[in-house]
Amino acid sequence: KNTNLNNSQLNKVPSVGLNWLFINTQKFPLSNKYLRKALAVSINRKEIVDHLLQTGEKPATGILGSSLQLQDRPIFEDGNIELAKNYLIKALNEMGIAKEDLPKIKINCRKGADVLRYVQVIQDQWYRSLGLQVEIQQVEWGTHLRDLKEGHFQIGEMGWVSWINDPIYMLQ
């Protein structure tokens, strides 16, 4: 068995996949819409695909992958730090707290080195752009799925790769 493959032996097949972050809007401080907006627009999706994935992916700027999107313009801002900072200021004012008093945000995710790297990049982006402290909790798949279903999370990670290139299939 030859484990030393070169590029001529690799067969790349296009596929559609996404990683999502689900936000539990019932948990403080993520119950504040401006904080959620700050988190969303501060994520630099292009940086993730260019520097982490590095295999030609395109950033998702909607709820579906780029090859399945029907809208002409992005739904999500990509890495707009100034807008994110403005949303964070609005959030803190609305909640009546200082940034130093904002509790640490926790992301729950599945076990796996690839998942951890992806979540760590977002953790770093939120720290660099907004100065937010983020804790990552990795658990086994069954525990992670149960926690998401039961609402025992602030932010929960989930990934999906489609078997077919169909937006309806992706959304079901």
Q: Give buried/exposed letters for 98-111 (b at 16+ CB in 10 A, else e).
A: eeeebeebbbbbbe
pTM over 0.85: no
In the numeric block, which tokens belong to residue 124?
A: 């770093």
Gyration radius from the chain CA atoms: 18
CA distances from 53 to 58, 115, 121 (A): 10, 11, 11
Each residue's pLDDT tens digit, 48-59: 877 776 666 666
In the numeric block, which tokens belong to residue 78?
A: 């990509």
Any idea what the Cα angle at residue 157 is, between residues 154 and 160, rounded to 5°? 150
Each residue's pLDDT tens digit, 95-110: 999 999 999 999 999 9
Rounded Cα–Cα distance for residues 140 and 109 (Å): 9
Across the chain, the runs of DSSP E, i.e. the strands, are: 17-23, 105-110, 134-139, 155-161
Each residue's pLDDT tens digit, 1-50: 555 656 666 666 666 667 789 999 999 999 999 999 999 999 998 888 77
H/E run at residue 9: none
